[in-house]
A and B are shown apart, each in its own frame.
Chain A
Amino acid sequence: MEKAATDLLEGVRCLDERALTEVYQAYSAPLYRYAYRLLGEAQEAEELVAETFHRFLAAVRRGHGPQTSLSAYLYRILHNAITDRFRRCPPPDLPLDEELTDGAAGDPAQLGAAHWEQARARALLRRLTPEQRLVLTLKYFEGLSNEEIAAVLDKPTGAVKALQHRGLEALRRLLRREGAWA
């Protein structure tokens, strides 16, 4: 682990305000994107990001918290929070995307088509297992490596590759069932 990362982790354990600010500024935006892609609602995504940092602080106070990778630790908290949210209140299959319906500029027909595509993609992701969903989202949207995702899942990289394969297989089956892919 790099010295900067080590110093940052040390500052986090001491609840150093500068270190905490640095962590929030570095990771809150990708976490928000991850949450928004899966939820489709800005307010709900913000709430889950706030919940993620709250749990992170609580763990640090108990003497736990990340030992090696901050990003992996935060993504794992957020992933668990989203999974809990899906279990508690499953979202509708095709929710409205507020960014597309809230005064966005452009052709209404194009906006409608884009909205439909995003809602369909979220619906497909939600039908995967939580781990498959996490692997595909982090790898193809956030660009994390297999090793980084393995750290989030606390599994070996071979398991990440297997999850990736099974996730894509499941996605293909779902699409074929929809009739979009032969």
Chain B
Amino acid sequence: MKELPERLDEALAGRLPPDAETAPLLAALSALESLQAGPPRSAEAARAGLEAFLRTARQAPAPSAVSPAPPARLTGWKLTLFRKELSPMNVLVLLALVASLAFGGAGATAYAAQGSLPDEPLYAVKLLTEDLRQELAGDPSAQLALALELAQTRTQEMARLAEAGRAIPEPAAARLGTHLETALQLTAEVGEPQLAAALAQLQQQTQAQLQSVTEARRNAPADLGLRLAEQHLTQTQALTQLGLEAPAQFRNQVRAGQLAPSVTPPAGLTRPGPGAGFGPGDGACDENCTPELDGNSYGPGLQHPAQRQRRPAPSTVSAPAPRRRSCRQPAARAHPSTMGTATGPDLAIRL
């Protein structure tokens, strides 16, 4: 026997007589009989509807009779280096490969250069990446942290070189001075509440670095680079101490570019002994003293004490060559202690 929906459909079509189940359902349908005869549609409304329909159809250009064809697939030969189609993902992979080949080598070189020492070929790359980091450092606190980090890096490089018995190149020591100078200038701009903490941090770090350099100097006491680094660290320590005791004076001095404090140079550097270079010394020199340039072509002999006072005893080191500064760094004025000093060996330093 057929299912009820099927029998109902047959009964509705008159192909089956109603049964006990379908008869009540067919009878219920008569309740809708009143809707069978609907009113005729208004001819005017039908005409207006047709006009509106056609008017709407005319408003836009007729579309193409057929749907747009999909991109045709190639079936023949095609002279190309690549496959006939490049999927978007393949293009991305290709671009990534090209980028990695172009820049990956440089990145690997920069990474390898990070462990290099000042007298090694890749050291220039290391300095380049450091300069880039300094350029990208945004806020002053980040710049200060970076300057301290780079100063620490320079000190460690010097210690490694000294440990290996290699000479410390001058640029490395000069760069340490630049980092310390930057750190001092940034510290001078720190707000009052944070100044003491910043100075304490700078002092603590330079103290540790000074110990490291002093220790390295025991192995290479004549190394000029180490001597220069020691000078920079000592100067920075003196200035930080000044900042802790007199913050206003510290700020003024640093902002004025007077980064060379009245620091007593390390013993043995201020008073050159006989044969140390120019100058008469303390008058106790023997015939090996440098002649006084008084035009008489004779030696200076013993000088008058008053004359010795007028001319300060020269140091073995002198004022540095002008260093390139960033725009925000004021040009350092020569400290009085650097004036009138004679040129020493190939090393230039402010005292």
A interface residues, Cβ below 8 angstroms from B: 10, 13-17, 20-21, 24-25, 28-29, 32-33, 36-37, 42, 46, 49-50, 53-54, 57, 60-61, 63, 99, 114, 117-118, 120-122, 124-125, 136, 139-141, 146, 158, 161-162, 164-165, 168-169, 171-172, 175, 180-181
Contacts and interface: CB of A to CB of B under 8 A. Distances in A.
A100 to B, nearest CB: 9
B41 interface: yes
State the majority secondary structure of interface residues on A. helix
B63 A13 contact: yes
Given A13-B63, A20-B54, A161-B6, A118 B25 contact: no
Interface in B1-29: 4-6, 8-9, 12, 24-29
A165 B24 CA distance: 11
Contact of A57 (B6, B12, B49, B56): B56
A20 B27 CA distance: 41
B52 interface: yes
Given A17-B58, A124-B32, 16 more contacts: A13-B63, A14-B62, A33-B38, A37-B35, A46-B45, A53-B53, A54-B56, A61-B63, A99-B39, A140-B36, A141-B35, A161-B5, A171-B28, A172-B28, A175-B31, A181-B28
B34 A117 contact: yes
Listed from nearest, the 9 A-B pairs whose CB atoms lie closest are: A117-B34, A165-B5, A172-B28, A168-B25, A161-B5, A15-B62, A99-B39, A171-B28, A118-B34
Nearest to A60: B63
B256 to A, nearest CB: 76
B4 A165 contact: yes
A161 B12 CA distance: 11
Interface string B58-98: 10101111010000000000000000000000000000000
8 contacts: A33-B38, A49-B49, A63-B64, A146-B9, A161-B9, A165-B25, A168-B8, A168-B28
Given A14-B62, A28-B50, A53-B49, A140 B8 contact: no
A53 B49 CA distance: 9
B59 to A, nearest CB: 9
A117 B26 CA distance: 18
B25 A50 contact: no
A21 B50 contact: yes
B102 interface: no
Interface string B168-183: 0000000000000000
Contacts of A16: 62
Given A42-B42, A49-B49, A168-B8, A121 B31 contact: yes
Contacts of A36: 38-39
Interface of B: 4-6, 8-9, 12, 24-29, 31-36, 38-39, 41-42, 45-46, 49-50, 52-54, 56-58, 60, 62-65, 67
Nearest to A38: B35
Nearest to B64: A63
Contacts of B42: 42, 46
Contact of A61 (B4, B24, B45, B60): B60
A122 B35 contact: yes
